[in-house]
Structure 1
Amino acid sequence: MVKLFTKLKLFHYATNIPLRLYDGENRLLSSALLKSQSMPTFLRFDQYEKELVKPYDDTFYYTNDLNEHYYSFGFACEGKEYRLVAGPSIDSSLSKKQLMMISSQKNLRLSDYDELESYFRSLPHYTSVSLRSTQPLLRYMLSGEEPDLSKNMQKSKPTKEFEEKKAKVAEEQRYHHSPNKDAMILEAVRNGDRGKVFSLVYTQGDGPEGILCKDDPLRSYKNMFIVNVSHITKAVIEGGVDSETAYTLSDTYIQTVEEIDSYEEVTKLHISMLNSFLDLVERAKRMRYTKQVYITIDYINKHYYESISVKELAQRVHMSESHLLKLFTSQTGMNISSFIINKRITEAANLLRYTNYSITQICNMTGFNDQSYMTKQFKRHFKTTPKKYKEQIIYE
């Protein structure tokens, strides 16, 4: 136990990231943070703590309504179960205007301002992406569990590529995108599909578009960021996020971008914004379903193009097939087989609408081994065949 506490202190000393260690009963055992990094009582850390200490199977990434970033994970050490909460961090220093906005949102007293300012000044500056990159090291230090770096690098690597791409765009005073890709991104956000969101964001757009403010390209870039925030906010609300929470986070990002004076910082903020809103969708889904059903849905959404059996899904959540089927149907309103088909058909429709892939290619890409079966299911859902659906889109 002493060694565990020492490791926490060393990690905090090196990174300035606040750490809290809980036992298997969610009781706080120890913390490694500066006194000023303890959240003021008027901001109520307990409301965020409840989310962070839940027994999620995987690492839980979380951004709250103050735009603070956290992650938490469970681990075993010397035969005992623990949960580690890392954070909060913030993207950058907050201006007086931003702090006043938080004071207003939280209905704070004027006398609370100094404590609020001191608290945020003490927090380390890590975007949600940067904070995530520290997780494998911390997990390895505490549990000795060898991290899957390929998974972590996949999440963080594109940031540099994205910045380089935007720098080039800045020089050309052009912004490359397509309405089709935008629609696919919003659909992925709505579904909380982080992998698809970033795979779309980091692909080259298919056409130039004139900038909005020719006298000030940075102003144009900020305007486009604000438009994106607006669209993303609407998408996450449709994905199940509470509207007040979504709009509060939206206001925070819009206010933050106005304080920025470089393309690079806007780009970093864009990545942080996407991750923060996706965290909200993930949180909403976790609250909507039991742990077993959430894990099952998450697996189907990520592997719908593969062969999936109920037996395999039941083994993943350590339940009998019959129990999982009953639980899944009661919470989603459809059985697992129907859910998988619905997911595949929805993805097929998106590919027909937003790409130039052939129907045969789409059949293979969405897990249908038989094109006639896909056509039959597609017709059942959309009252038309894939071919006619594509033709209707062309003439819209």
Structure 2
Amino acid sequence: MMNHPHIDEMDYVCNMIYTTFDLPVYAMNANGELLFEQSAAYIHHPMYFSEMEMLKPLFVTDDPHHFPVFRTTMFLENFFSITLRTERAFQGIIIVGPVLYSTLHEESLTGMLNELQLTNEKKRMSEYFEALPVINQLKVISISKLMHYMIYKMKLDTVEILRQNELLHTKAIEIEHLHVHISGSGQQHRFHANSILEKKIYQSIAKGRKEELTAALTAYPEKGIFGKLSRTSSSRNSKNLAIAAITLGTRAAVQGGLHPEIAYTLSDLYIQNLEELKDSRSITQFANSALHDFAERVLKHREQKYSKPINACKNYIFSHLYDEIKLADLAEMTVMNPSYLSALFKKEVGTTISEYIQRTKIEEAKSLIDYTTYTLSDICTLLNFHDQSHFTKTFKKFVGLTPGEYKNRTERL
């Protein structure tokens, strides 16, 4: 059941968000009056006379309250707001921001100021943007989900937040112009994706059918784009769509039998790396590769049918990759004789327990090299190898390259 908060009780929530994430937070009552704020370290916008002037366009009384609403200003600042409502009435709004999703480079700043005819304010605006917090969009969405949960005790989904915001902003277009937008989309062949084709993509992942997935993804340029999830940036739009696709691909992979921990960890890594890409083409290619990886992993999982004790061993090994894993622990966990368990594992999996542990740790090491900034020494320690020499020898045994060679090759790709 949804909580029904009162604006006067929100100072604790606002203070927690401010102190934890260093984001400016404002609370306004139903009359649009600023009740309290947390923004001590924040440099005020030089183009506004007061904070209220900046916040006024963000005070929208008819915003829905069941999800955070995101807005981007003409200055490329980002805010999210959470409307406070009881069963009876509108109570007010909490506004969080401004924040940048990525560093605003000088070239972008110059272009924006030229468009706004504010070139003489470059020094003050540059100082202002340098002081703004820079947090990638996915994390900002997570912060908004946390704050919304603190207020309403509702669990929200990232993809649903993106879609609801797109629907909300689409409604802002005057209805009499709707036929113009449809006509324009038709002339440019920019139709939203066929729902059957979209379903086929995620069914292909769930069933581990890579060829069908490739065919469905290839058909997308013919069927049209997904839609538009950002009005200010084509690359941001591509990233939003890719995040949605990866999130849905993750669910499909779990549905197909992939271990949830593996699926969600992969999803996090993919989305984190996605944020580093700059152009739409690279973003789309990366998202397609992620979906193919999910399908391939589901396929491997579906091809492997093991007994209950062996599946329990595999899950234990995966869950304890960063620990020292001993045969005695596995035997105790499965309530089996160590020798018998070893023989059964070799019979079903085709490799010894120790070799399987080593191989799985090396696969984890490859992911850490590919998707994190950990040093090779850090990875060696994290995965509980005896020493660097042992790590290097084991890595080369399964990969054919030393960790250093693998890292150098990956960085060149």
For normalisation by structure 2, the TM-score amounts to: 0.38
Larger Rg over CA atoms: 2
Q: Which structure exhibits the higher relative contact order, with contacts defined as CA atoms closer than 8 Å and separated by 6 or more residues?
A: 1
